[in-house]
Amino acid sequence: MVCPLLRDRGYNLHLLVKQRTLPVIVKEVNDISANTGFDLQEGKIWAVDKPLGWSSFHVVKKLRGALLSRVRAHGVRKLKVGHAGTLDPLATGVMLICLGKTTKMIDTLQSKVKEYVATIKLGETTPSFDLETPVDATWPTDHITLPLIEEKLKDFIGTISQIPPSYSACKVDGKRAYKMARSGQEVELKPKTLVIDEIEIMSFDRENMTLTLRIVCSKGTYIRALARDIGASLGSGAHLSGLRRTRVGDYQVECCQSVEDAVAGIYRTEITVPSQDPKAPPVVIPAGEYISQEKDGGKDRRDILSYNERQQHTIFSTDETLTV
């Protein structure tokens, strides 16, 4: 249940019912994602566009593997690499990957305001609140109109209380909630307080009951849970059918690299590493070459497919016409 705690805090609720280009925030950002030489100990931040179906850990593992392949011959066996904020496997968009000393900035980066574009299917619910699981119930939608949506969305602006999804990385007695949920266990999570700064209606397709929103919010916001709560507030149900994180702080998705480009940049960049001899100066590993594995069919598999994709895969695999 959504419990608005503060209202009228000066937040602007945008209700522009049309498709439009997201505003570009004019603010200078250091180009630390560029393929320029870097010091392994000082570290670096990569802003990447996470692919659909990949877990956040998959992205970290991919970049860490590329880095280790470059520096292992110089005595480096371990690297400190992490990400500044989990992004659901069935979402795409901005992910910040930190190396070395920049991992100390993770908490600061995670606290930055985030922006999403979310597509919500009204009238249907799923256990995971997104496409990972099948529709488990249908709800009436004939009464849902644009004016009703505009009115109900006002209740979500400001500081609210939100119960995270059972299919989430939250921990219950030391166990990840999503692992418990996928194994059929009951999961009870406590509500969390968060802030939603803006919600803008980008489009509403009444025939298909599809609502697309731009959402600006604080750390800890589950857009899947927001979709659930919006559906309930409309006297219906809802689940998330698409999600893209378009901004984290000053990092915008338009400026992000693909994972493939980030990996290629690691191979094609000079890297300075400590010498194995404490008395010797640091070693500069010269830029090398990168051969894409995708050309030879080595494209990474997705960690999670949507329920419908899994069903389709099962059908085709049975006919021996498709392998993934």
Domains defined along the chain, listed by start: 38-110+251-307 (no CATH), 114-248 (3.30.2350.10)
Catalytic positions: 88
Local confidence pLDDT in tens for the 324 residues of the chain: 333 322 233 333 334 333 333 343 333 343 444 567 999 999 999 999 999 999 999 999 999 999 999 999 999 999 999 999 999 999 999 999 999 999 999 999 999 999 999 999 999 999 999 999 999 999 999 999 999 999 999 999 999 999 888 877 788 778 888 788 888 888 888 899 999 999 999 999 999 999 999 999 999 999 999 999 999 999 999 999 999 999 999 999 999 999 999 999 999 999 999 998 888 999 999 998 887 765 444 567 788 888 888 887 554 343 443 332
Dmax (CA) of the chain: 76
Say if residues 215 and 225 touch (Cβ distance below 8 Å): no
Say if residues 292 and 260 touch (Cβ distance below 8 Å): yes
Q: Which residues of 278-310 are buried (b: 16+ CB within 10 A; e: fewer)?
A: eeeeebebeeeebeeeeeeeeebebebbbbeee
Look up residue 187 and give its two tokens. 């999961």
Rounded Cα–Cα distance for residues 124 and 122 (Å): 6
Overall pTM surpassing 0.85 (yes/no): no
β-pair type (92-99, 81-83):
antiparallel
